Structure 1
Amino acid sequence: MKTVTIGKTVLPAIGLGTWHMGDDPRREKQEIAAIRAGLTAGAQLIDTAEMYGDGRAERLVGKALQGYAREQVYLVDKVLPANANAVRMEASLDQSLRNVGTDYFDLYLYHWRGSTPLEETVSELNRLQATGKIRHWGVSNFDRADLEELWQTPGGDQCVVNQDLYNIGERGIEYDVLPWQQAQKMPLMAYSPVAQGDTLGTQRLTNNRVLRAIAQAHQVSVFQVMLAWVIRQPGVIAIPQTSQPEHAQQNVQAGDLYLTEQELIQLQQEFPTPTQKQPLAMI
């Protein structure tokens, strides 16, 4: 399986997202089974956030991990902009730790930029890292200019990852964000790698003739082809979300799928690389 190194930890290039999970108690058992199926298939990273269901996704992750050794998983959580300051961040972090039922997060992300000065947010992230409550920190929904400002901020170069929306139908970050991160050796965590959260976008991709033909040739799903495409280059980890155990297993198995050079050329022709700067895609 392809791997990505975040900090000093080598991880499978397919992780597990949890956005919209934990919202419906009737689906709790199935969602827990989906997380466990993904872990059984080989995933290690689980991504969640205090924003997801006001903590319900965090609590679901905690239930799913009962019986697992803490070292078996790489836990990622995120702090809301309103809490990303010296007054509120540690209390917010402590609540998230309680929700998940752990003493530390492997990675803690600034979910998106808010009104707090970046220097204050970075200073607090580094302070919390020193306490051991988080092992590393990163950012999410940062554009090229945000990343450049971060790098010029005292302590900002301790950031180990940026999480942005990225899939074959939304390649805007390839113009300037991804090249900058590659130059800095900063991994990209791709959320919505199969266009989750965009129903029309998902339908457009799953019905695409080129994607369908490639999926058929490999005897896999279109979703697996899209995931294999996202992680085709080094330093990119994808975090698809699904509440279906079978789909979770298939998502992780996409880490073993290698597209041929000809297939990559076909996909490039169908979904060309952007030739100019585009607004950062977010959902």
Structure 2
Amino acid sequence: MRTRPIGPYGTAVSVIGQGTWQLERADRRTAVRALNTGIDAGMTHIDTAESYGGGAVEQLVGEAVRHRRHEVFLASKVRAANASAHGTVAACDRSLRRVGTDHLDLYLLHWPGGHPLEETLAGLRALHRAGKILHYGVSNFHDRHLAELFARTGPDEIVCDQVLHHLGDCSAELRVAPACLARGIAVVGYSPFGLGSFPPSPRAAAVLDSVARTHGATRHQIALAFLVREPHSFAIPKTATPSRAEENAAAAEITLSDEDIARIAAVCPVPADDGTPSSASGRRP
């Protein structure tokens, strides 16, 4: 599994990790096995949140990593509604108990807007000083949210922005990714296979299948390889199927040619910049 630094601290993280949104809907034993299969294949970045299954997914993740916590780069998120200074600390403490660990490697504000950003940052900084979180960042922050964030944080403070990023919605590449790159901040793409429609079009399907044949890969693997092609980008696909976890992990070893990238970009274009502020899309809990 390829790794790359996440954020300004140089911590090496697998370019493809494991998302867990709605994992509580899967058979628990199979889901735990899928997570461990992913870890075995090198997908050691596991992302979860207090809102997933009302905390049930954090407990599931805790079960999966109980005997191998040291192998995992574990991320969770505080709900915007809980993200006051005190509420952020309290939410993190609850997450730590559910997972069964004394620290999180990464803690994110799940959405902007629940409480003043200064309050959330105060809570995140307190958790960092206490050693309960090693890094912190944000999720679903777009243009104006990033501008506000950058005005209130130091140059090496935030490590990533986690955003929707899939072949049917590459809008994060328009302004979010360049803004983050300028600050040395990673972009972690969630739902890399979309929100119910993959591939996004018949033309995209044809191109993905053609490129996949060239690499002896699947269309899902080619999509992941495309989404993590930039040196600051990561992806966190979710699966409850062990064989799919292995398939996702293997995508990290695929190197697309310039021609491959151009062909995929032609059928999955970044939208034109019309000058209006972008906003979070594909809202999830």
Give the TM-score of the pair, scaled to structure 1.
Answer: 0.93
Give the equivalent residue in structure 1 for 2:208.
Answer: 211
TM-fit CA distance, 1:257: 0.6
Tell me which residue corresponds to 1:275.
272
Q: Which amino acid aligns with 1:17?
A: G
Output the CA distance in 1 between the equivalents of 2:75 and 2:215.
32
Structure 2 residue 18 is the aligned partner of structure 1 residue 21: no
Q: Give the equivalent residue in structure 1 for 2:177.
A: 178
Hey, what's the Cα distance between the residues in 2 that align with 1:66 and 1:150?
A: 34
CA contact (8 A) 2:89 2:126 kept: no
Aligned equivalents of 1:158, 1:217: Cα separation in 2 = 41
Secondary structure in 2 matching 1:208: helix
Contact 1:37-1:245 at 8 Å conserved across structures:
yes
Query: 1:185 Cα deviation (Å)?
Result: 1.0
Other-structure match for 1:245: 242
Label 1:140 to 1:219 Cα distance change in 2 as closer, same or farther (>3 A).
same
| 2:131 aligned with 1:135 | no
Report the counterpart of residue 53 of structure 1 in structure 2.
53
Q: Name the SS for the 1:268 alignment partner.
A: helix
Give TM-score, length-normalised by structure 2. Answer: 0.92
Q: Any idea what the Cα deviations from partners look like across 1:145-192, whole Å, max 9, x if unmatched?
A: 111111111558511110000112211111111111111111101101
Matched, 1:257 2:228: no
What displacement does 1:71 show?
2.0
CA RMSD of aligned residues (A): 1.6
Q: 1:3 — aligned with what?
A: 3
SS of residue in 2 equivalent to 1:242:
coil
Q: How many residues align?
A: 277
- What is the DSSP-based 3-state SS (H/G/I as helix, E as strand, rest coil) of the residue aligned with 1:234? coil
Q: Residue 77 of structure 1 aligns to which amino acid in structure 2?
A: S
Contact 2:89 2:124 (C-alpha < 8 Å) held by counterparts: no
Q: What letter corresponds to residue 135 of structure 1 in structure 2?
A: L
Tell me how far apart the structure 2 counterparts of residues 99 and 78 of structure 1 sit (CA, whole Å): 13
| 1:110-149 → structure 2 map (5 Å cutoff) | 110-149=109-148
Q: Which runs of 4+ in 1 moved over 2 A?
A: 1-4, 154-157, 203-207, 277-283
Change (3 A) 1:101 1:205: farther
